[in-house]
Amino acid sequence: MTYVRHKTPLPPAGKVEVRSTEGEGAANRHTLFAFVRPLRLTPEQVSWLQISPLALVLFCLVAAPIVLFLVVSFFDYDRIGIYPAFLMDNYRDLLTTPATLRVYISSLKFALIVWAITLFLGFNIAWFLIFHIRTTMMRTILFLLCAIPFWTSGIIRTIAWIPFLGRNGAFNQILMALHITEKPLTFLLFSDFAVIITYVHLFTLLMIGPIANSMGKIDPALLEAARDAGASRWRTMTDVVIPLSKTGIALGSILVFTQVMGDYFVVKTMSGGQSASIVSLLSNQINAMEYPPASANAMLLVIFVAITVACMMRVVDVRQELVK
Amino acid sequence: MDPRFDVELVAVTKRYGTTLAVDDISLRIPRASYCCLLGPSGCGKTTTLRMIAGHEAVSAGDILINGDNVTLDPPIRRGTAMMFQSYALFPHLNCLDNVAFSLKMRGIGKAERHAKAREFLGLVHMANYAERLPSQLSGGQQQRVALARALITRPKVLLLDEPLSALDPFLRIKVREELKRLQRELGITFIHVTHSQDEAMAMADLMVVMDDGRIRQSGPPREVFEQPVSAFVARFIGGHNVLQGARGPIAVRADRCRLGVAGDSPHVSGRVAAVEYQGTMVRVALAMDSGDEASALVPDAAFYSAPVEPGDAATLVWSEPDAHVLAEM
Amino acid sequence: MVVAVSGSGRALGPSENRPWTFYALGGLFFGFLAFLYGPMFVIYLLSFQGPNGGVTFPMVGTSLTWFRDIVKPEQMADIPAAFERSIFLASVVSAITVVTSVAAGLGFRRRFRGSFILFYLAVASLVMPSLLVGFGIGLGFQVLGLHNNMFTSALGAQLTWTMPFGLFAMFAVVNRFNRSYEEAAADLGATAWQRLRHVTLPILLPGIIGVAMGAFTLSYDEYARTTLTIGNHNTLPLEIYALISSATSPMLFAIGTVTTAVSFLLIGMTLVVVFRMQRRRRAIATEN
């Protein structure tokens, strides 16, 4: 982005007209209201005006609720309501129940498995689309084919697996028709397997997109230069392509990881009640109107996600990538 | 065996689907020579270079390097090294690691490959920039690093794809001299693709003019310039008027043409279209009565003793021995 | 002279044939597509299940019974009303998102104090578990003594999802925009407003339409942020969510088929509009 920062000098006293050199919001003297003293805005003020609605929403509806979690997490509560207090009980309960550790481990396990699978799929599919498909037209079509299901509701895509994986489901019938198994497999549905399959189905695109975007910026001459220098396919991948697409890998990883960590619906629906996630536990507490412990739980999760994402963002400057 | 040629192309053809990019070309490049492939864009010169490099498969024909048939060999086994038009420096590696890359691929230890890479950076006067990333270098500096990276593989043939096109005109002339010097000192063959006839004439021992996938003429630059075989070559290398002579088309060098009066010597008449002052010479562009265009390069003193202006009637005169009959149109 | 490095050199030689990796990765790619589409085709198929059929195979005849069930009034869920609400809410969300994120995208082209915080807040809004965002907003409303409502809390909750998305999409759009167009317009005497109206917005328009469509579908499919902020009337995804736990019949799949069809219709229309726009521009460009 070529942007030269303009330093607009302050108008010297006595001078009336100094118009901001840029800024879409700046009023100017050709308007109907020429008699009104023109509103003079510095470029920075114009920017503030432009981002203000976004800032308002994010501060009121994202930042403020986090502060609210912090406050409410110390409150007292009973079946009827919540009461201002400064109790450590909610945190003590949260950190001492084995259930907390169990759901964190369970969610982390899902997140890591799904991350590994989607990374493998995403990297290889992006590679195929970028380095093996030669025409832009074909690449766009194939990418759209991957992206189209993403526009269907996650709920629908989740329940789509039920008739597919069930005891009499399509998958079992195919297996039996091919005589691969005699009896229908029962572990397919309502199991960790089903949860992972569904996650992979829902989130692989989040990996393909950013990685393909990074790979697309690699000059194909670099691969030839590597080949010229005697690099095998494998060395070309490890020494050239992976370092140059690590931004996409990190971005995709952040998206997949946070989506899995934040899920409650897939776990509830597909595990058949056998597994829980952090958020499904939290949703139970919310449904039971236990807001202070839920807030403490939320606080812990926010900190956990913030730390993990911050760690991943240390690998690459995501801001640089997005703004550039 | 000591083959006389560093590179031999034998009836090499490249097809993309139904289009012919390179059409049955044969070429022999003698030992340790500077060869320029010259032609307009889309003439097949870059494709030819890439086939020699092993980055493009040959549809038919053979490529021999140093007497070995390398048609099916991967780039690293050919003894060639390529310098890419965009330089293709790895953006995530500093200059030293860029130059050391091929040594790393061969499994050479860090200390040894870095020492070697420093040596080659020194060869191109870039030793002080070893730790810099490519993005921190100017175009000219990037080119030197790319050169060092190509030379460290100790190639028999260095392939350069439009190496000067990204440089400004002053730098271009300096780098030209330097490339020529390196080629002489290393005693290897350079194959240099360009669309600039100045560049080719200034540098080449062997100049190969290509058009439409075929070689139109090859030889030492002086021979090509003195005796262009066709109207295309005469026009493309510049400095020639292609005119209709008594026995078919002829080429006459513009600097051998004068403005004068119709007499015994051959001549054509037309009107002055434009006058360009070029310092030592003045170029007078003429629109001939036949509809063709021609120009005369006149020494400045001669021009100003009898100046003409656009719109004036003029006659282009040359002497018979300066007319070169073109073998083909 | 450098001698060969590995035994697999032959495979790396130039060849007009595709390398084996092409076939391996191509196989993986089409396998993935089958994985992606397989289950969805199963539910599209099962939504045409005969009246006596169940939620799994085999198909017992074919019928439109389950589609008719969707609009039957005595259902426990009022799907048509929820559908209407969803479309309406999504339209509002989409409109607000477009205006605010285009403005913010333009604003972010300059450095300004606070841009750093705002950027990371937008990232946080996307990576925070959605249910938590909804919970926070719902809790906030309760603390302030406000009632949850579709056009206050639910709208806000959805905006925390669509606005950061719109912002990041606009970054990509704005970065491809060559600033010299605006400078040229300014040189030609265009005022700030005229530059925006006649130069910037028309050039960015395809991207802006993309943001509008993206925001619409994100809102239309949203459930995790909405569930704790919606109040008394459910949107379509929430209605479906309620149906899953209470009843399972092929009607669920019929709803899925219909909502997917709506999404596709919308995407198709947008793509046609954008495509036409680009073609018209290209036509104008070639005329000139």
CB of A152 within 8 Å of a chain C CB? The answer is yes
CB atoms within 10 A of CB B329: 9
Residue A2 pLDDT: 40
CB–CB of A206/A256 below 8 Å? yes
Segment A154-169, tens digit of pLDDT: 888 888 888 888 777 7
Three-state secondary-structure class, residue C46: helix
Eight-class DSSP state of C153: I
The alpha-carbon gap from A20 to the nearest alpha carbon of chain B, in Å, equals: 34
> Residue B202 — pLDDT band, cuts 50, 70, 90?
very high
Burial of B256 by CB count in 10 Å (0-12 exposed, 13-18 middle, 19+ buried)?
middle
User: Cβ C263–A294 below 8 Å, yes or no?
Assistant: no
Residue B293 pLDDT: 87
CB–CB of B323/B314 below 8 Å? no
The alpha-carbon gap from C4 to the nearest alpha carbon of chain A, in Å, equals: 8
Residue A33 pLDDT: 47
User: Cβ A142–C29 below 8 Å, yes or no?
Assistant: yes
CB–CB of C43/C256 below 8 Å? yes
pLDDT for residue C2 is more than 50: no
A232 vs B contacts (CB less than 8 Å): 105
Residue A10 pLDDT: 41
Structure tokens belonging to residue C3: 């001698």
Residue B37 pLDDT: 95
B85 vs A contacts (CB less than 8 Å): 221
CA-CA distance, B215 to B238, in Å (whole number)? 17
Residues sharing a CB contact under 8 Å with residue C8, sequence separation 6 or more, in sequence order: A232
Q: How many CB pairs under 8 A join B and C?
A: 42
CB of B311 within 8 Å of a chain C CB? The answer is no
The alpha-carbon gap from A85 to the nearest alpha carbon of chain C, in Å, equals: 14
Residue C286 pLDDT: 67
Give the residue-averaged pLDDT of C255-275. Answer: 82
pLDDT for residue C80 is more than 80: yes
The DSSP element (H or E) to which C118 belongs, if any, is helix C115-127
Q: Which of A42, A119, A152 to mutate to test the interface with C (most CBs of C within 10 A)?
A: A152
Where on the phi/psi map is residue C274: left (φ > 0), alpha (ψ -120 to 50), or beta? alpha
User: Cβ C131–A301 below 8 Å, yes or no?
Assistant: no
CA atoms within 13 A of residue A108's CA, in its CB half-sphere: 10
Segment B231-273, tens digit of pLDDT: 999 999 988 998 887 778 889 999 998 888 877 788 888 899 9
Segment C153-203, tens digit of pLDDT: 999 999 999 999 999 989 888 887 878 888 888 888 788 888 888 888 888
Segment B117-170, tens digit of pLDDT: 999 999 999 999 999 999 999 988 999 999 999 999 999 999 999 999 888 888
Give the residue-averaged pLDDT of A52-64. Answer: 93
Eight-class DSSP state of C62: B
Strand-pair category, B189-194 with B34-38: parallel
The DSSP element (H or E) to which C278 belongs, if any, is helix C250-287
> Residue A17 — pLDDT band, cuts 50, 70, 90?
very low
CB–CB of A223/A304 below 8 Å? no
Rg over CA atoms, chain B: 24
Give the residue-averaged pLDDT of C201-223. Answer: 88
> Residue C49 — pLDDT band, cuts 50, 70, 90?
confident
Query: For A223, which residue in chain B has the nearest alpha carbon?
Result: B88
Residue A20 backbone dihedrals phi, psi, to 5 degrees? -60, 135
CB of B60 within 8 Å of a chain C CB? The answer is no
Strand-pair category, B68-69 with B60-65: antiparallel
**Comparison of pLDDT for A121 and B1, the residue scoring more:** A121
B153 vs A contacts (CB less than 8 Å): 228-230
CA-CA distance, C221 to A209, in Å (whole number)? 20
CB–CB of A149/C37 below 8 Å? yes
Residue C118 pLDDT: 92
> Residue C247 — pLDDT band, cuts 50, 70, 90?
low
Strand-pair category, B267-277 with B293-299: unpaired
The alpha-carbon gap from A16 to the nearest alpha carbon of chain C, in Å, equals: 18
The alpha-carbon gap from A322 to the nearest alpha carbon of chain B, in Å, equals: 19
CB of B102 within 8 Å of a chain A CB? The answer is yes
Chains that touch B (3 or more CB pairs under 8 A): A, C
Taking CA A27 as the corner, what is the angle to CA A22 and CA A32, rounded to the nearest 5 degrees?
140
Q: Which of A228, A244, A246 to mutate to test the interface with B (most CBs of B within 10 A)?
A: A228
pLDDT for residue C96 is more than 70: yes
User: Cβ A153–C221 below 8 Å, yes or no?
Assistant: yes
CB of C113 within 8 Å of a chain B CB? The answer is no
pLDDT for residue A269 is more than 90: no
Residue A31 pLDDT: 47
CA atoms within 13 A of residue B324's CA, in its CB half-sphere: 24
Q: What is the mean pLDDT of chain C?
A: 83
3-state secondary structure chain A: CCCCCCCCCCCCCCCCCCCCCCCCCCCCCCCCCCCCCCCCCCHHHHHHHHHHHHHHHHHHHHHHHHHHHHHHCCCEECCCCEECCCCCHHHHHHHHCHHHHHHHHHHHHHHHHHHHHHHHHHHHHHHHHHHHCCCHHHHHHHHHHHHHHHHCCHHHHHHCHHHHHCCCCHHHHHHHHCCCCCCCCCCCCCCHHHHHHHHHHHHHHHHHHHHHHHHHCCCHHHHHHHHHCCCCHHHHHHHHHHHHCHHHHHHHHHHHHHHHHCCCHHHHHHCCCCCCCHHHHHHHHHHCCCHHHHHHHHHHHHHHHHHHHHHHHHHCCHHHHHHC
> Residue C74 — pLDDT band, cuts 50, 70, 90?
low
CB atoms within 10 A of CB C69: 17
pLDDT for residue C9 is more than 50: no
Q: What is the pTM of this model?
A: 0.83
Name the least confident of A158-172, B26-40, B75-89: A158-172
B77 vs C contacts (CB less than 8 Å): 3-4, 9
CA-CA distance, A271 to A263, in Å (whole number)? 13
CA-CA distance, B27 to B45, in Å (whole number)? 12
pLDDT for residue A19 is more than 50: no
Query: For C163, which residue in chain A has the nearest alpha carbon?
Result: A54
